[in-house]
């Protein structure tokens, strides 16, 4: 009887163990839940641009919107640019402090474009920053011109809205933050062609072409490329594990550390993108803005990231999904941006606080003669080069000096040779 009882217990234990293992196996095989776009928080790209357009129309005294288009091999892109200037007639005033902000370069990062709308709403004075002196803010904004690109990657964004929630590339599968010319095309060992496709060549994508033209014509003092995926304040470089040398780099880092301390309690990562993210990125916009376009303060900001979210649950990983977090992100980062506007304008424009001219950004005559300078457009649309007005004359005079020196030397040598021949004795053969 005892034997049968033991056998029955073992049989029951085996049965329950089998059921538990099967149940655990089935649970492990269950697909990761995918968080959909929260339509109560996030507008579609069409609704977002309509709201921004209406905002611009209500405040034409200080806001202006332009739409640019470009096509490459049948692929067409559109770029909407909103310009803020308290006095519309002063938009082209080059004495003003100039700031260029781009949002939504990666399609899946919807929260960044919502931040663009919040910043524009504050600039229009339809929304206000708590604990900010409006008179001080007004004084700061009188000194600056801001250009905002609310959705840089409009075609990719539409694919996300149609259900491809992990898409970060543009409408034909190119990562716009790998399509710029600094260290373009280099692939690390962990290179993922889906995530980091750099395109057929630098600036092969119309979106990158339009952004480059915008940066060249506007010539900003501050550039910020706004992303999500973590909380970070990055400066160059992305393609190597180091920051630039020199005084300007120190000023950039000091600004980031101050903003991080005052607005985020030092919780954001600060430093170079290549040294902080955990991987190197080649062909990025910020490295181009700093190294080639010579923007004195070139940054990449990462405004949100859910590190606990599954890598397959992309919307949750890159965007807050509840009202409380959504509003906190927009409130904190919009306040930080306006503090940066104030710090940047004060640092770059106030003669009492000015620092010695940064020699790192001077360009040598040799570099100029080798064609190093990048072309820019002046306010009349004619092509000009950086430091063109003075250096073109220097180059011309330098070449004339070399030519005249060679001619004088040739004439001098000819006269000596002729004089020597006239004193030689005649020889009869």
Counting the structural domains of the chain, the total is: 2
Output 157 or 393, whichever has higher pLDDT: 157
**Domain-ending residue, one of 356, 379, 397:** 356
Q: Are 328 and 346 contained in the same domain?
A: yes
Query: Does the residue 19 lie in any domain?
Result: no
Query: Does the residue 5 lie in any domain?
Result: no
What integer pLDDT is reported at residue 33 of this predicted model?
A: 87
Phi, psi of 345, rounded to the nearest 5 degrees? -65, -40
Q: Are 341 and 378 contained in the same domain?
A: no
Q: Are 305 and 409 contained in the same domain?
A: no
Query: Does the residue 309 lie in any domain?
Result: yes
Phi, psi of 385, rounded to the nearest 5 degrees? -110, 155
Query: Does the residue 33 lie in any domain?
Result: no
Q: Are 272 and 373 contained in the same domain?
A: no
Closest CA to 67 of 177, 176, 210, 209: 210
Query: Does the residue 209 lie in any domain?
Result: yes
Q: Are 208 and 126 contained in the same domain?
A: yes
Task: Render pLDDT for 109-153 as a digit per residue (tens, 0 to 9).
Answer: 999 999 999 999 999 999 999 888 888 888 899 999 999 999 999
195 is annotated as an active-site residue: no
Q: Are 284 and 385 contained in the same domain?
A: no
Mean pLDDT of the 32-48 span? 95
Residue 282 has pLDDT above 60, yes or no: yes
Task: Render pLDDT for 380-413 as a digit per residue (tens, 0 to 9).
Answer: 333 343 344 344 445 555 555 666 666 667 666 6
**Domain-ending residue, one of 356, 382, 404:** 356
Residue 54 has pLDDT above 70, yes or no: yes
**Cα–Cα distance, 220 to 341 (Å, whole number):** 12
CATH number at residue 251: 3.40.630.10
Q: What is the 3-state secondary structure (H, E, C) of 208-261?
A: HHHHHHHHHHHCCCEEEEEECCEEEEEECCCCCCCCCCCHHHHHHHHHHHHHHH
Residue 3 has pLDDT above 70, yes or no: no
Identified catalytic residue from 162, 231, 302, 375: 302
Residue 97, classed as helix, strand or coil, is strand
**Domain-ending residue, one of 356, 382, 407:** 356
pTM above 0.85, yes or no: no
Task: Render pLDDT for 346-369 as a digit per residue (tens, 0 to 9).
Answer: 876 654 444 333 333 333 333 333
Q: Are 279 and 380 contained in the same domain?
A: no
Q: Are 181 and 319 contained in the same domain?
A: yes
Residue 374 has pLDDT above 60, yes or no: no
201 CB-near residues (< 8 Å, 6+ apart): 184
Query: Does the residue 206 lie in any domain?
Result: yes
Owning domain of residue 407: 365-416
List the structure tokens of 202: 């630098």
Output 368 or 422, whichever has higher pLDDT: 422
Task: Render pLDDT for 285-337 as a digit per residue (tens, 0 to 9).
Answer: 999 999 999 999 999 999 999 999 999 999 999 999 999 999 999 999 999 99
Task: Render pLDDT for 204-239 as a digit per residue (tens, 0 to 9).
Answer: 999 999 999 999 999 999 999 999 999 999 999 999
Q: Are 378 and 302 contained in the same domain?
A: no
Residue 316: count other Cβ atoms within 10 Å of its Cβ.
19
What integer pLDDT is reported at residue 398 of this predicted model?
A: 56
Q: Are 181 and 79 contained in the same domain?
A: yes
Q: Are 199 and 218 contained in the same domain?
A: yes
375-377/297-304 β-pairing: unpaired
Q: Are 311 and 372 contained in the same domain?
A: no
Q: At what angle do helices 110-123 and 323-349 cross, to 10 degrees?
A: 60
375 CB-near residues (< 8 Å, 6+ apart): 216, 383, 384, 385
């Amino acid at each position: 009887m005892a034997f049968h009882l033991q056998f029955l217990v073992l049989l029951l234990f085996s049965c329950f163990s089998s059921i538990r293992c099967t149940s655990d196996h089935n649970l492990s095989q269950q697909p990761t839940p995918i968080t959909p776009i929260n339509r109560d928080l996030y507008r579609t790209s069409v609704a977002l641009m309509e709201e921004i357009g209406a905002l611009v129309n209500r405040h034409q005294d200080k806001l202006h919107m332009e739409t640019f288009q470009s096509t490459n091999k049948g692929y067409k892109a559109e770029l909407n640019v909103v310009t803020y200037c308290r006095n519309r007639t002063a938009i082209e005033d080059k004495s003003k402090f100039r700031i260029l902000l781009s949002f939504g370069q990666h399609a899946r990062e919807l929260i960044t474009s919502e931040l663009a709308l919040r910043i524009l709403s504050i600039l229009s004075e339809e929304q206000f920053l708590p604990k900010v002196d409006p008179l001080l803010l007004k004084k700061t904004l009188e000194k600056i011109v801001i250009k905002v690109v609310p959705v840089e990657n409009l075609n990719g964004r539409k694919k996300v809205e149609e259900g491809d929630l992990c898409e970060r590339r543009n409408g034909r599968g190119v990562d716009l933050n790998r399509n710029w010319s600094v260290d373009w095309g280099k692939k690390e060992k962990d290179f993922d062609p889906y995530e980091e496709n750099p395109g057929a060549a630098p600036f092969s994508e119309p979106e990158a072409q339009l952004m480059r033209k915008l940066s060249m014509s506007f010539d900003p003092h501050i550039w910020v490329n706004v992303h999500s995926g973590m909380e970070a304040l990055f400066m160059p470089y992305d393609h190597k594990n180091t920051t630039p040398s020199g005084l300007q780099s120190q000023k950039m880092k000091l600004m980031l550390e101050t903003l991080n301390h005052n607005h985020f309690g030092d919780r954001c990562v600060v430093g170079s993108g290549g040294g902080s993210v955990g991987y190197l990125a080649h062909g990025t916009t910020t490295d181009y803005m700093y190294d080639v376009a010579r923007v004195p303060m070139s940054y990449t900001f990462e405004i949100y990231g859910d590190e606990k979210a599954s890598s397959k649950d992309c919307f949750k990983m890159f965007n807050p999904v509840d009202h409380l977090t959504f509003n906190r992100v927009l409130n904190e980062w919009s306040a930080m941006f306006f503090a940066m506007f104030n710090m940047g304008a004060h640092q770059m424009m106030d003669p009492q606080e000015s620092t010695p001219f940064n020699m790192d950004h001077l360009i040598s005559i040799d570099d100029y003669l080798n064609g190093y300078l990048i072309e820019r457009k002046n306010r009349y649309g004619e092509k000009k080069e950086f430091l063109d007005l003075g250096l073109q004359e220097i180059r011309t005079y330098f070449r004339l000096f070399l030519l005249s020196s060679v001619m004088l030397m040739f004439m001098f040598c000819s006269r000596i040779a002729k004089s020597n021949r006239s004193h030689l004795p005649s020889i009869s053969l």
